[in-house]
Structure 1
Amino acid sequence: MRQDISDLAAFYASPLGQAARDMATRKIRETWGETRDLEMLGAGYAAPYLEALSKDAGRAVAAMPTGQGADAWPPGRRNRAVLTAEDALPFPNARFDRILMVHALEESLDPEALLREAVRVLAPAGRLIAVAAARNGPWAPFESTPFGHGRPYSRRQLARRLEDAGLAPTGWTRALYVPPIPGLAGWAEGFELVGSRLWRPASGLILMEAVKQTLALQPRPVTAKVRLRVRAEAAAGARPQPAGRGGVSPELGA
């Protein structure tokens, strides 16, 4: 069962929710870079993140699942939020250049169907970022925040989930090192700086980017010869390439 829209909105109106949004949004910006004139979709409850990411975008839309409920977004302007079934997004094929999924996969009753719809509406070579609670992170056990609900993910589990939907993971990163304690929200920047350098596995969130595969981009089977070539390139200092099925893509910014 999904969290209610009122609980999500209340969390992001709090200092702790704003800190979570800010820490994750920074990583998304670093990954996507310039988004001018692009078509963007936020799935789940991504509206707080879209507010900062879509200022120069051509259009941004927030799709909120029926089990959760929806708020008008952006506040005070023409509404661009829609209440929709997860497995039947009301958009044409290949519409969006970027898709951001937040509070989407963890509580979905059918994450496979949700991702299939995301792939359908994603443009060829379009890019998707899935933000999920880290399975071994400090936020997953606490139901007092939205990241403590549903199924958290390890990075391998998240990569496999995206691959099963026909997406090719290209990179991943971590965010949100501050503990889920309201009184520590003001220290989020300090926790992020220290945690990302000294305790990288202790993040609250995993963010993974993937691209929509076309026939020309389908990964080849990993053979013994390919493994030997990859090892030789790694030994020579070559830049690591995105992993094939079952692998974990390189860490963004590592």
Structure 2
Amino acid sequence: MYLDVIDLRDFYAEELGATVRQILRQRVHHIWPTVRGDRILGLGYATPYLDGFETEAERVVAFMPAAQGVVNWPPTGPSAAALVNDDMLPLPDASVDRVLLVHMLEMANDPREVLRELWRVLSPGGRILVVVPNRRGLWARLDTSPFGYGRPFSRGQMTTLLRESQFSPVMWTEALHMLPVKRRRVRRPSSPWEAIGQKFWPAFAGVIIVEATKLLYQGLPVKEKVRLKPAFRPSLIPAGASPMGREDATAAAPLADAGLLQHSSFPATDRA
């Protein structure tokens, strides 16, 4: 079940959403420090974390699922956002270099189909960066943020999902170690709770962040199997003659060995 795009926009307009945006945006840009010349796709509701990439990347577009809705992005200039079906992206094969998924897999009806479609549009060696709610974390148990909706994941579940979709995880990290409350001292980005939680209880973070690369396997040529062609053997039995049965052949074997039995296909004639 997808959240409405208006609810997502309103959350990031609040103070708690602004804090989440600042923390996760730092992690995303730390993992992808440079995207020079790359084509980047944001899928789900990734626009709060795409800011800053458009000045360096070749192209940045934001696709939002039809069940969620779409809002204009960026706020100024031509719109780079579109409403799409998450399992039928309007892109050719190998057309993007990086994909950022936020508020996507936990909401999708079939996450495998989404990842398989992303595998299709990713270039060889392309990478995806996935942000999903942590099954162990407190953020997945409270509805004070969008991470409390949908299907949370564990590391093991994400590993299985990615490998079944022909992706290989290359980097893992966690974020949102602070409590999902509205108290100003706790939710400030400069609050020590984020650093304390990252050190002492990293497994209970609010979200899991995983980077994975597209796997390519070399196709093996199909070898043609050698088939035996039928061959015809010449028959030693004259035309019209009845072949000897097994019993006759057994009885004639000693005579043939003694040279007393001769085979001929021509009738015998008297000599003058």
- Scaled to the shorter chain, the TM-score interval is 0.7 to 0.9
Contact residue 39 and residue 57 of structure 2 kept, 8 A: yes
Q: Runs of 5+ in structure 2 lacking a partner?
A: 219-272
How do residues 182-193 of structure 1 correspond to structure 2 at under 5 angstroms?
182-183=182-183, 184-187=186-189, 189-193=191-195
Alignment equivalent of 1:204, drawn from 206, 220, 225:
206
Could you report, residue by residue, the CA deviation over 1:133-185 in whole angstroms, capped at 9, with x for unpaired residues? 00010100112210000100001111111111111111110011121112232
CA–CA distance in 2 between the matches of 1:78 and 1:124? 29
Could you report, residue by residue, the CA deviation over 1:30-89 in whole angstroms, capped at 9, with x for unpaired residues? 222211121100011001111134431111110100000000101122100010001110
Match of 1:14 in 2: 14
Match of 2:30 in 1: 30
TM-score in terms of structure 1 length: 0.82
TM-score in terms of structure 2 length: 0.77
CA–CA distance in 1 between the matches of 2:159 and 2:109? 19
CA–CA distance in 2 between the matches of 1:54 and 1:27? 17
Could you report, residue by residue, the CA deviation over 1:93-151 in whole angstroms, capped at 9, with x for unpaired residues? 11111100000000101111111111111110011011000001010011221000010
One-letter amino acid of the structure 2 residue matched with residue 128 of structure 1: I
The change in CA–CA distance for 1:173 and 1:17 in structure 2 (over 3 A counts) is same
Contact residue 23 and residue 189 of structure 2 kept, 8 A: no
Contact residue 159 and residue 208 of structure 1 kept, 8 A: no
CA–CA distance in 2 between the matches of 1:187 and 1:33? 20
Deviation at 1:21, TM superposition (A): 1.7
Alignment equivalent of 1:213, drawn from 202, 206, 215:
215
The change in CA–CA distance for 1:195 and 1:83 in structure 2 (over 3 A counts) is same
Match of 2:39 in 1: 39
The change in CA–CA distance for 1:161 and 1:189 in structure 2 (over 3 A counts) is farther
- Answer with 161-170 or 15-24: which moved more: 15-24
CA–CA distance in 1 between the matches of 2:104 and 2:118? 11
The change in CA–CA distance for 1:151 and 1:36 in structure 2 (over 3 A counts) is same
CA–CA distance in 1 between the matches of 2:200 and 2:47? 31
Aligned residues: 217
- Answer with 15-24 or 184-193: which moved more: 184-193
Contact residue 125 and residue 211 of structure 1 kept, 8 A: yes
CA–CA distance in 2 between the matches of 1:127 and 1:189? 32
CA–CA distance in 1 between the matches of 2:77 and 2:193? 35
Match of 1:109 in 2: 109
1:50 correspondence with 2:63 = no
How do residues 1-254 of structure 1 correspond to structure 2 at under 5 angstroms?
1-183=1-183, 184-187=186-189, 189-215=191-217
Contact residue 106 and residue 151 of structure 1 kept, 8 A: yes
Q: Secondary structure at the match of 2:100?
A: strand
One-letter amino acid of the structure 2 residue matched with residue 201 of structure 1: A
One-letter amino acid of the structure 1 residue matched with residue 211 of structure 2: E
Q: Secondary structure at the match of 2:51?
A: helix
- Answer with 195-204 or 117-126: which moved more: 195-204
- Answer with 78-87 or 54-63: which moved more: 54-63
One-letter amino acid of the structure 2 residue matched with residue 9 of structure 1: R
One-letter amino acid of the structure 2 residue matched with residue 145 of structure 1: S
One-letter amino acid of the structure 2 residue matched with residue 142 of structure 1: L
One-letter amino acid of the structure 2 residue matched with residue 170 of structure 1: V
State the identity as a percent. Answer: 39
- Answer with 189-198 or 39-48: which moved more: 189-198
Deviation at 1:191, TM superposition (A): 2.1
